[in-house]
Amino acid sequence: MELTQICDLAVIGGGPAGMAAALEAYQSGVEKIVIIERDKELGGILNQCIHNGFGLHYFKEELTGPEYAQRFSDQIPGTTIQAMTDTMVLDISPDKTIHLVNTKNGYQQLKAKAIVLAMGCRERTRGAIGIPGERPSGVFTAGTAQRYLNMEGYLVGKRAVILGSGDIGLIMARRLSLEGAKVLACVELMPYSNGLNRNVVQCLNDFEIPLYLSHTITRITGTPRVESVTISKVDEKRNPIPGTEITFQCDTVLLSVGLIPENELSKTAGIALDPRTRGPVVFENMETSVEGIFACGNTVHVHDLVDFVTAESQRAGRYTAAYIQGQSPSPNAFLPVTAGSMVNYTVPQKIHLPASAPVEIFFRVAMPMKDKKIVVTASGTGEKLMEFKRLHLAPGEMEHITIPTSALEKVPDGIEIAIV
Amino acid sequence: MKELICIVCPRGCHLSVDDTAPEITVTGNACPRGAAYGKKEVTAPARVVTSTVRISGAAHRRLPVKTRGEIPKGMMAEAVKLLDEVTVEAPVKVGDVILPNILGTGIDFVASRTMDKT
């Protein structure tokens, strides 16, 4: 085998984002497409998400994670897309040379006309949040425990405390309960859950698992395995309040304390990252700061629903095909999109000019709010362009609005999205 | 009056269910499925249950399964326990029945993915 292979499009990651982008690029006329996946099969994290609730938007029916993944992976054999599994990408050069390695062919290079980054995200760990106490075994990230339980077939513990009320933590509370473990508590630092409301209902309430809001773990003890966990109430500044301690005898702690877009490879390619999303800064066509390198899915920003990952990745696939076919907008004329009051970030951060299609903007709000308006204003002048009413806004639920091309024609300094 | 959060879709509507009158009324729902959920949740709550079973001859040790349809909420633990006794042989196709007629409900556990023989 030659050291260097050539393709039109290389997709890094074979999860829902990578598969949707590759299939869409194929349908848009790109032929030589390679998906590079480090696991032994396509599907990504969906393969371990055996619970249902996927696909209501995209397929209009409720699927489990593996079923959702299979709807896409089943389409690949009928195409010219090559899935290179069990393969790790080591580095991407700005000239779009991908350095990869696998056990079959060793080190290889793949030169692509365009690249789609679809590496997904990774979990924050105990080290990222600094929990005091001893360092016993039995402390897992929720996603790791999910893989052990659902794919490898190991129950990680018998009595567990879950820190963080993100969706994976909630889902794991239910899984552990159904498989015979006792979940003593779900502990959340913030005064509200970061997970979807439906998951609080069907994963905690259904199993009578108490949710401690405005609480955090202040001590873990045990040698060599977790023996107890102490939680404390926190004040408005999130500092533990002495005297509020509750101790649980348990053997396991699961952490569901946030996801971070995976971008080590993006950095090797010299791609500009947004410190708020921790993913690449992208244009409305999902192109990054490096020409011909696109990104989509949880690599760009962490989504709540895979359906939205699919939609975003299909958009990336279409625009990547356009780039390969020589129909890409100039990177020099663009409008910046800025996050205003109570908005944590926006995706995209830039819109090419002239705008050729309505632009969908995705964002998260800073705190739960009721009866508010999403307001789009012209940066600089502050002129109000559009507003959208919302009865209910929450950080755990990604918002999106669509801005017509007409609104983008008269705003030379860009637009700002704010909640008022 | 019962306050519920709808679990039909990720939107999570806040429902108010009035079950004091003979005709149960639901408000706060954004779609008809929410009204149906609200009524069912206060009369006969039911859930789709997902779990795994042992599989031999495949690339993985566990095969994910789901109930094809909802079963009564109170039967969840017992239904999952039935799967402890099940080992399936690869190959399995998505949708194959793994355990029929769970606890007499008429609902089956089915495979939620395809696993080839290795």
What's the rounded Cα separation, in Å, for the pair A11 and A36? 6
* Amino acid A95: pLDDT: 93
Biggest CA-to-CA distance, chain B: 59
Token pair belonging to A419: 């909640």
* Sign of the dihedral defined by the CA atoms of residues A214, A220, A225, A228, in that order: negative
Q: Which residue of B has its CA nearest to A196?
A: B10
The domain in which residue A156 lies consists of 125-257
Q: Does A206 touch chain B (CB under 8 A)?
A: yes
Question: Which of A257, A274, A303 represents a domain boundary (last residue)?
Answer: A257
Q: Work out the minimum CA distance from A69 to partner chain B, whole angstroms.
A: 9
Same domain, A252 and A242: yes
Asked if the C-beta of A371 comes within 8 angstroms of chain B's C-beta atoms, the answer is no
| Residue A151 near residue A243 (C-beta atoms within 8 A) | no
Q: CA–CA separation, B79 vs B70, rounded Å?
A: 12
**Cβ–Cβ contact A150 with B under 8 A:** yes
A357 and A414 inside one domain: yes
Average confidence score pLDDT of chain A: 95
SS3 A221: strand
Residues of A in contact with B51 (CB under 8 A): 50, 178-179
Query: Between B12, B76, B112, which is nearest A66 by CB?
Result: B112
Residues of chain B whose beta carbon is less than 8 angstroms from a beta carbon of chain A are 4-10, 12, 14, 47-52, 54, 59-62, 64, 66, 73, 76-77, 80, 94, 112-114
DSSP secondary structure string for all residues of A280-345: B--BTT-B-SSTTEEE-GGGTS--S-HHHHHHHHHHHHHHHHHHHTT----TTSEEEEEE-TTEEE
**pLDDT tens-digit series, residues A145-172:** 999 999 999 999 999 999 999 889 999 9
Q: Where are the domains of chain B?
A: 2-43, 50-111
Which amino acid is present at A189? L
Residue A251 and residue A139 share a domain: yes
Instruction: Tally the domains of chain A.
Output: 3
Q: Residue A213: which CATH number?
A: 3.50.50.60
- Quickly state the pLDDT bin for A326 (edges 50, 70, 90): very high
Looking at the fold, whether A196 and A297 belong to one and the same domain comes out as no
Domain boundary among A211, A230, A257: A257
Segment among A117-121, A262-266, A309-313, A377-381 with least mean pLDDT? A377-381
A246, A151: one domain: yes
The CA distances from residue B31 to A53, A390, B37, B75, in Å, are 17, 17, 10, 28
Question: For chain B, how are helix, strand and coil distributed in percent, rounded to 5?
Answer: 25, 35, 40
Q: What does the pLDDT read at residue B19?
A: 86
- DSSP SS3 for A215: strand
> Judging by DSSP bridges, how do beta strands A259-261 and A159-163 pair with one another?
unpaired
Does residue A333 surpass a pLDDT of 90?
A: no
Element spanning A27, H or E: helix A16-27
Domain boundary among A233, A257, A281: A257
Are A249 and A344 found together in one domain?
A: no
A325 touches chain B (CB under 8 A): no
**A133 and A193 both lie in a single domain:** yes
Handedness of CA A398, A115, A317, A288 (dihedral sign): positive
Nearest by CB: A178 against B7, B10, B76: B76
Query: The tokens 């998400």 sit on which residue?
Result: A49
Alpha-carbon distance of A336 to A347, in angstroms, equals: 11
Q: Which chain B residue has the Cα nearest residue A306?
A: B10
**pLDDT single digits (tens) B55-76:** 999 999 999 999 999 999 999 9
Closest alpha carbon to B51 in A50, A143, A69: A50
Q: Do B12 and A40 touch (CB under 8 A)?
A: no
Q: Do A196 and B10 touch (CB under 8 A)?
A: yes
The correct answer on CATH 3.30.365.10 for the domain covering B50-111 is no
Which chain B residue has its CA at the smallest distance from A62's CA? Answer: B9
Cβ distance of B5 and A64 shorter than 8 Å: no
The Cα B56–Cα A11 span in angstroms is 32
pLDDT grade for B13, boundaries at 50, 70 and 90? confident
Is residue A183 domain-shared with residue A199, that is, in the same domain?
yes
**Which residues does residue A64 pair with via DSSP β-bridges, in sequence order?**
A52
Are A316 and A340 contained in the same domain? no
For the beta carbon of residue B78, count every other beta carbon within 10 angstroms.
Answer: 12
pLDDT at A1 over 70: no
Nearest chain A residue to B84, by CA: A179
Mean pLDDT taken over chain B: 93
A147 three-class SS: helix
3-state DSSP assignment of residue B31:
coil
In A135-245, beta strands by DSSP E: 139-141, 159-163, 182-187, 211-212, 215-221, 228-233
A31-62 pLDDT tens trace: 999 999 999 999 999 999 999 999 989 999 99
- How many CB pairs (< 8 A) connect A and B? 82
Mean pLDDT of the A281-287 span: 97
Q: Are residues A268 and A303 in the same domain?
A: yes
Of B12, B54, B73, the CB nearest to A206: B73
Whether residues A344 and A417 share a domain: the answer is: yes
Average pLDDT (A285-293) is 96
The pTM for the full model equals: 0.94
pLDDT tens for each residue of A176-214: 999 999 999 999 999 988 888 888 989 999 999 999 999
Q: Does B59 sit within 8 Å of A70, measured CB to CB?
A: no
At residue A364, the pLDDT reads 95
Burial class (CB within 10 angstroms; exposed 0-12, middle 13-18, buried 19+) of A106: exposed
